Structure formats: structure tokens, C-alpha cells
Amino acid sequence: MNGTALPTHIGLRLVEAYPALDRSGDQVRSGYVITIDGRTQWVADAQFEALYRSVGALDFPRALFAALNGNAVARKVWRNSERIVARDEALWLEVPGSEAKKWRPDQVEVFATDWMVVG
């Protein structure tokens, strides 16, 4: 753009994916077939692993993204089926048999990498 620096972007998405080989060229390459926005495409291992994590091993930003997109999330170390949901412009802690209460993450939760999407 005429020597002007291009703007930087960041993206987070939930995708369905499975490992697959690409045999379309002269070489066989390993990667993943992903479904994103209703489209299916093949992505190389390095690109996939740089962009995506299993929904069972998320860091907090990815867990927050999942919650803001309608999923319940929890940490693996939590007991009693506790889960976090986003509604009414807030995060809520839901515990079976108890009334939901507003929730704010502490430093431990923000830096945890054991977040997961739960049912």
C-alpha cells in the first residue's frame, strides 16, 4: 500500500478439524481438514497448530472467546460441574443446585491453559 504499513489483525474461531494427508501435489503433506463458516479446506500442520488448540486445552483468551460465542467453559481442575457462561454482558459461574452468580477471573484463571468447552 504505497509504503504504508498494513494494519495488524487477530482472529479467533471455533472450527471442526481432523488430521489428514494432502496427496494433491508431487509430495504427500500432513495437515488437517477444517470446516470453517461452512467451508471445508486443508491446512498444513504448522499453520493449524499455530492457530488452533483443542477445545479441551484452551488458554483463557480462547475460552473467553468460546464463552462469548455461546459455549459454556470450565477448567479441568474444577469440581462439581462448575462452568462459566456469558450472558447479559457479564460472565456467570453456574454450579448445579445453586443460583448463578457473576464471576470475575483472578490471575490464576487468566494464565491457566486447562480451560475446556463443556456441554
> Which residue range is the domain that position 82 belongs to?
60-118
Residue 10 counted as domain residue? no
Residues 65, 89, single domain; the answer is yes
Q: Is the pTM of this model over 0.85?
A: no
Residues 21, 45, single domain; the answer is yes
Residue 53 pLDDT greater than 90, yes or no: no
How far apart CA 15 and CA 28 sit, in angstroms, is 24
Binned at pLDDT 50, 70 and 90, residue 67 comes out as: very high
11 or 72: which leads in pLDDT: 72
Residues 34, 70, single domain; the answer is no
